[in-house]
């Protein structure tokens, strides 16, 4: 069969005059050159009569099985450590790149002896970390896994069991995350395949407990896309109780609701977030304030660490500490958020929610004092929604995989006198790859915001499929030229209505005019 790959460096052409039809599913092989080329392995792009979404193989079921398969590959990648690397030899888990915090913290944070997180001090804990240094909902997740861990056997077998229990629970989180991501843009469920097949997901899924927050944040975005701001706020609050970064999602919603005048919905999402966060945190705050505060005080006092630009800077000046590091980080993050806010209020068209969400979380990642390899999980579902293009996604993922290998190789080099691995200069190069890869994807998203004709989501006339009440809404407040307001009001005349959000997409509907190739 013949293939006509579209040049991604050029805009795809004007949107159909009537906008997208409500009951059609966007198939990546029809619009993404990389996906189209990859589909040739399975017989080429699906035709008009392919039963996508109407047979038993709905997108949600297929994506769930895909993410489970990738997740199991990640478990196999950790297998060399299961019986050896975590327990025998300090550097084996680094040379084989199979490190995980989970088995070490079973005993290191008192779960093996039955201590209760936030209430019982950790034996031999440091002065600034006498209690569990994780947010409350993550601590509860760890406690449940400890309850499910066998009480018999030696410590090594119990740590193995603890890791397996956590791995099973985190796999459920991965399935929830991919299904929720597919629901966030209802006509584009297959964009979630970027998350399901991400190499960094397989490598980092079981290093720590970040997938819990990723799943809750994805559910929040799915609820927002379905015009349910209260429930979106509730899950943002729960996600923030598991990891701090989901609170950043409220920033994009603030500026987007400001631009569109959606004050009621803004109040609902903020109220839901604050209420859910308090419900989870207040009992621990009242039971032991010092134990609850440990996560926040530890985050404040820790120095520059692996993976960050600040580590390169400090090692370049011979390991001198920057006393005002927190001030610099806060200043850069605030400036980045202000720049993103200005972009949101002055762009020719109101940016999509997923675009701003990706940019603000990426700004946090880039300016933070530490970048653990599993932090990439925060960005993967946001990247799938913000820039659903395999070429750009795989470029970024390649940089993250190289960083993953680099950080463990660097730790192996410093782990013993044999120096198996890469030295400091090469590790700095690995950090730079991570930074450049993330900045590249940020650049592509910003370009889409400033030049909406390049946006792969908007080429067919869509406005903001993950925007919920923002989708197709006219602008009420903009900065700079009034051109953006006029374009938004003109676009609202033919943007899709909210009616199709509650309808299950089908693939056998009339797809409308063929998109420009």
Measuring CA to CA, which residue among 18, 21, 26 is closest to residue 500?
21
**Does residue 60 lie within any of the structural domains?**
yes
Band of pLDDT at residue 153, cut at 50, 70 and 90: confident
Task: Determine how many CB atoms are found less than 10 A away from the CB of residue 149.
Answer: 21
**Does residue 61 lie within any of the structural domains?**
yes
- CA dihedral sign of residues 27, 28, 32, 38: negative
pLDDT of 500 reads: 34
Contacts of 191 (CB under 8 A, 6+ apart): 28, 181, 182, 185, 384, 385, 388
* Angle ∠(479,480,481) on CA atoms, nearest 5: 125
pLDDT tens digits along 351-399: 999 999 999 999 999 999 999 999 999 999 999 999 999 999 999 999 9
Band of pLDDT at residue 185, cut at 50, 70 and 90: confident
Give the residue, 320 or 89, on which the prediction is more confident: 89
CB 238 within 8 A of CB 256: no
pLDDT tens digits along 224-236: 999 999 999 999 9
pLDDT of 7 reads: 44
Helix (H, G, I), strand (E, B) or coil at 109: coil
pLDDT tens digits along 280-289: 999 999 999 9
CB 431 within 8 A of CB 309: yes
CB 492 within 8 A of CB 474: yes
Mean pLDDT of the 185-193 span? 90
Per the structure, the count of domains in the chain is 1
**Does residue 45 lie within any of the structural domains?**
no
- Cα 138 from Cα 210, distance rounded (Å): 8
Percent of residues, the chain, with pLDDT higher than 70:
80
With 50 as the cut, is the pLDDT of residue 16 above it?
no
- Cα 487 from Cα 501, distance rounded (Å): 24
- Cα 54 from Cα 504, distance rounded (Å): 9
Contacts of 193 (CB under 8 A, 6+ apart): 28, 63, 66, 384
Give the residue, 362 or 304, on which the prediction is more confident: 362
**Does residue 208 lie within any of the structural domains?**
yes
Lowest mean pLDDT among 40-44, 218-222, 316-320, 383-387: 40-44
Q: What is the 3-state secondary structure (H, E, C) of 200-226?
A: HHHHHCCCCCHHHHHHHHHHHHHHHHC
Band of pLDDT at residue 8, cut at 50, 70 and 90: low
Band of pLDDT at residue 126, cut at 50, 70 and 90: low
With 70 as the cut, is the pLDDT of residue 499 above it?
no
Pick from 116-120, 258-262, 302-306 the range whose average pLDDT is largest: 258-262
With 80 as the cut, is the pLDDT of residue 86 above it?
yes
With 50 as the cut, is the pLDDT of residue 464 above it?
yes
Band of pLDDT at residue 486, cut at 50, 70 and 90: very low
Mean pLDDT of the 32-44 span? 60
- Cα 469 from Cα 460, distance rounded (Å): 20
Q: What are the respective helix, strand and coil percentages of the chain, to the nearest 5?
A: 65, 0, 35
With 90 as the cut, is the pLDDT of residue 10 above it?
no
For the chain, the distance separating the N- and C-terminal CA atoms, rounded to the nearest angstrom, is 16
Lowest mean pLDDT among 14-28, 86-100, 458-472: 14-28
Residue range of the domain that includes 158? 56-496
- Cα 258 from Cα 344, distance rounded (Å): 10
pLDDT of 322 reads: 61
- Cα 506 from Cα 25, distance rounded (Å): 6
CB 209 within 8 A of CB 247: no
Q: At what angle do helices 229-242 and 136-148 cross, to 10 degrees?
A: 70
pLDDT of 415 reads: 76
- Cα 171 from Cα 163, distance rounded (Å): 12
Measuring CA to CA, which residue among 458, 259, 276, 427 is closest to residue 355?
458
**DSSP type of residue 482:** T
- Cα 388 from Cα 26, distance rounded (Å): 11
Catalogue the long-range contacts made by 116-123 (C-beta closer than 8 Å, 24 or more residues apart): 116/143, 117/142, 117/143, 117/291, 118/284, 118/287, 118/288, 118/291, 118/292, 118/294, 119/287, 119/288, 119/291
**Does residue 33 lie within any of the structural domains?**
no
Pick from 8-22, 76-90, 97-111 the range whose average pLDDT is largest: 97-111
Lowest mean pLDDT among 34-43, 183-192, 254-263, 309-318: 34-43
The average confidence (pLDDT) of the chain is 85
**Does residue 153 lie within any of the structural domains?**
yes
CB 20 within 8 A of CB 501: no
Band of pLDDT at residue 84, cut at 50, 70 and 90: confident
- Cα 196 from Cα 53, distance rounded (Å): 17
Mean pLDDT of the 427-447 span? 96
Lowest mean pLDDT among 49-53, 275-279, 291-295, 327-331: 49-53
pLDDT of 301 reads: 80
Which position has the token pair 């047979």? 55
CB 85 within 8 A of CB 98: yes
CB 337 within 8 A of CB 360: yes
Give the residue, 44 or 291, on which the prediction is more confident: 291
Pick from 11-15, 19-23, 179-183 the range whose average pLDDT is largest: 179-183
pLDDT of 83 reads: 86
pLDDT of 488 reads: 45
Mean pLDDT of the 307-327 span? 77
**Does residue 511 lie within any of the structural domains?**
no
CB 419 within 8 A of CB 413: yes
Q: Considering the entire predicted model, what is its pTM?
A: 0.87
pLDDT of 310 reads: 86
**DSSP type of residue 83:** I
With 60 as the cut, is the pLDDT of residue 278 above it?
yes
């Amino acid at each position: 069969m013949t293939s006509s790959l579209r040049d991604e460096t050029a805009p795809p052409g004007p949107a159909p005059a009537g906008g997208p039809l409500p009951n059609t599913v966007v198939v990546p092989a029809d619009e993404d050159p990389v996906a189209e080329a990859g589909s040739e392995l399975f017989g080429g792009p699906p035709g008009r009569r392919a039963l996508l979404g109407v047979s038993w193989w709905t997108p949600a079921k297929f994506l769930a099985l895909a993410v489970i398969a990738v997740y199991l590959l990640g478990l196999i990648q950790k297998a060399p450590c299961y019986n050896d690397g975590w327990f025998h030899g300090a550097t084996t888990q680094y040379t084989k790149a199979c490190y995980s915090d989970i088995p070490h913290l079973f005993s290191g944070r008192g779960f093996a002896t039955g201590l209760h997180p936030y209430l019982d001090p950790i034996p031999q804990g440091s002065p600034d970390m006498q209690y569990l240094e994780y947010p409350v909902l993550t601590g509860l997740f760890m406690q449940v896994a400890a309850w499910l861990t066998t009480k018999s056997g030696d410590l090594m077998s119990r740590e193995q069991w603890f890791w397996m229990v956590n791995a099973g629970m985190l796999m459920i989180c991965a399935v929830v995350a991919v299904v929720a991501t597919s629901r966030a843009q209802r006509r584009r469920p297959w964009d979630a395949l970027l998350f399901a097949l991400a190499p960094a997901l397989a490598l980092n899924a079981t290093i720590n407990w970040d997938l819990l927050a990723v799943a809750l944040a994805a559910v929040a975005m799915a609820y927002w896309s379905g015009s349910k701001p209260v429930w979106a706020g509730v899950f943002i609050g729960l996600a923030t109780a598991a990891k701090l970064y989901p609170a950043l999602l409220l920033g994009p919603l603030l500026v987007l609701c400001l631009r569109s005048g959606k004050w009621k919905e803004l109040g609902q999402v903020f109220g839901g977030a604050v209420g859910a966060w308090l419900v989870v945190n207040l009992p621990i705050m009242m039971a032991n304030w010092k134990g609850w505060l440990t996560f926040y005080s530890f985050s404040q006092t820790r120095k520059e660490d692996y993976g960050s630009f600040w580590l390169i800077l400090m090692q370049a000046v011979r390991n001198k500490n920057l006393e005002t590091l927190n001030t610099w980080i806060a200043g850069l993050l605030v400036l980045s958020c202000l720049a993103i806010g200005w972009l949101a209020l002055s762009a020719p068209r109101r940016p999509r929610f997923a675009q701003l969400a990706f940019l603000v979380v990426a700004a946090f990642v880039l300016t933070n004092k530490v970048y653990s390899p599993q932090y990439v999980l925060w960005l993967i579902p946001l990247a799938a929604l913000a820039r659903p293009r395999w070429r750009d996604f795989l470029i970024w993922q390649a940089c993250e995989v190289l960083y993953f290998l680099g950080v463990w190789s660097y730790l192996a080099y410093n782990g013993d006198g044999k120096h198996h691995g890469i030295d400091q200069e090469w590790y700095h190069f690995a950090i730079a790859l991570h930074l450049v890869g993330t900045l590249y994807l940020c650049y592509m998203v910003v370009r889409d915001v400033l030049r909406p004709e390049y946006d792969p989501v908007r080429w067919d006339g869509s406005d903001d499929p993950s925007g919920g009440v923002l989708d197709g809404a006219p602008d009420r407040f903009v900065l700079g030229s009034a051109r953006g307001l006029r374009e938004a009001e003109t676009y609202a005349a033919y943007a899709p209505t909210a009616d199709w959000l509650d309808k299950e997409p089908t693939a056998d509907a009339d797809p409308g005019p063929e998109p420009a190739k």
